[in-house]
Amino acid sequence: MAQFFRPTKKASLGVATLSIDGCDHQGRGVARHEGKVWFVDGALQGETIKAQAAQNKSKFVEAKVVKVLTPSVNRVVPFCADFERCGGCQLQHQNLNAQVQDKQQAVSALFKKFAQQNTLPWQAPIIGESRHYRRSARLACFYDKSAERLRVGFREKGAKTICEIVKCEILSERFSAHIPALREALNQDKQFASVSHIQLSDTKNHGYVVVRHLKPISCEAKQIIETHFSDRGWRFVWQSSSDELGEMDYELPSYVLPRYDLQFQYRLNNFVQVNAKVNEAMIQQAMDWLQLTKHDVVLDLFSGIGNFSLVAAKYAKAVIGVEGVESSVAMARQNAHTNSLTNTAFYCADLTDNLAKEGWFGSQANVLLLDPSREGAEAVLKQLPLKQFDKILYVSCDPVTLARDSAEIFAAQFTLTRLGLMNMFPHTGHIESMALFQRR
């Protein structure tokens, strides 16, 4: 007998009235309804709302607010006219103090889930400016053939379409109000239709505008754009499809840490923290917590261009930095030389690989510093002889991987002695935190 394919019926999407009893680590409201957990964009703890389901899974529903029936006392009017559309910020509808409190609660819940820790040694959070804190950002670009226009802005929430913002209050003031002018200038010449994205970087010396284009653009067209924005202190870098930012010739951007009399240069494809003031406070907190002495040898993994390494070298006997990106390692070495630091050594290694063959792996370091990407440090923690360290400082940009990796550190007989949030990205769901572990 012939068998005919019968597609399974998808769960229907609908509207539900919900009481929000918490929030998750992405800043979404959490409710329980008809045996499922609902994650609701735009909802705050303590509110009663109507929510429209966007995705109905077997155990949970992803949804967004349709109407707020009983608002939270922490609900505020968003300061950005494009907040409802733009995907850059998620929490402008919540006051800043409540954002930090909810993020702390979310981290606590993750430590309980992954590491069975119910009581955490919370320290005062690091709080920076709530606006104009981003010194770098990436603008999405798309040529709309029907409108014969290059769209420039940020991706819309939950979509690939572009929100052509009028002003971004999160960007540094060098760029904040000038995106419409840049958009209009690029639309004066069809050659710019091939621009795929624009990277903005506000640095100590210039405001860099990296224009990535997929087809050639004439020198004359480039010069018109550069002249138009010359009074803003912008420096344009034109990146073709065959160019690599790490190899292109341009004046290197830089930033300074005045407290430590240090200057850092980097290439525009190197990672640097986008919030300069919180970065400075984060480094100071790391040094305060570690209390390094001239007897300490620090192993700094995921060391980048030396953001922590060079400061630690001012206090420690020696610092060994390991990073997976060769251009960042080269900049770390150059920065150490520029700042006359002779007690540092930097190595390039993939920290997810087998590391036993690496020369630095058998070092006599007694302090471990970790600043991994969102993937966390699980692979390297499983390989390191953790019991050789007296202290482990973990700087995290993802609370899920921090909580997961903490279980590995606890298993090696360490105690969590300090934990603090760093509000690196106000008005967004991103959570940055720092944890100090000490050997029992």
Annotated catalytic sites, by residue?
Answer: 397
User: Can you tell me the distance from the alpha carbon of 376 to that of 396, in angstroms, rounded to the nearest whole number?
Assistant: 8
Residues 6+ apart with CB under 8 A from 188: 224
Pick the closest to residue 255 from 310, 312, 179 (CA basis): 310
Joined tokens for residue 266: 């980097």
Q: Can you state the percent helix, strand and coil of the chain, rounding each to 5?
A: 25, 30, 45
Please provide the DSSP assignment of 382-440 as one string.
Answer: TTS-GGG-SEEEEEES-HHHHHHHHHHHHHTTEEEEEEEEE-SSTTSS--EEEEEEEE-
The single residue listed with the structure tokens 């006997």 is 317
DSSP code at position 227: H
Q: Which strand ranges, in their side-by-side order, compose the sheet holding 207-213?
A: 162-163, 149-155, 136-144, 195-202, 207-213, 234-239
Tell me the sheet residues that pair with 15. 52
User: Can you tell me the distance from the alpha carbon of 377 to that of 408, in angstroms, rounded to the nearest whole number?
Assistant: 10
3-state secondary structure of 1: coil
User: Can you tell me the distance from the alpha carbon of 135 to that of 155, in angstroms, rounded to the nearest whole number?
Assistant: 19
3-state secondary structure of 142: strand
User: Can you tell me the distance from the alpha carbon of 314 to that of 259, in angstroms, rounded to the nearest whole number?
Assistant: 11
Strand locations in 101-215, DSSP E?
Answer: 136-144, 149-155, 162-163, 195-202, 207-213
User: Can you tell me the distance from the alpha carbon of 373 to that of 394, in angstroms, rounded to the nearest whole number?
Assistant: 11
Please provide the DSSP assignment of 234-262 as one string.
Answer: EEEEEE-TT--TTTS--PPPEEEEGGGTE
User: Can you tell me the distance from the alpha carbon of 393 to that of 370, in angstroms, rounded to the nearest whole number?
Assistant: 6
User: Can you tell me the distance from the alpha carbon of 62 to that of 35, in angstroms, rounded to the nearest whole number?
Assistant: 14
Task: Tell me if 39 sits within 8 A of 27, measured CB to CB.
Answer: no
User: Can you tell me the distance from the alpha carbon of 419 to that of 349, in angstroms, rounded to the nearest whole number?
Assistant: 28
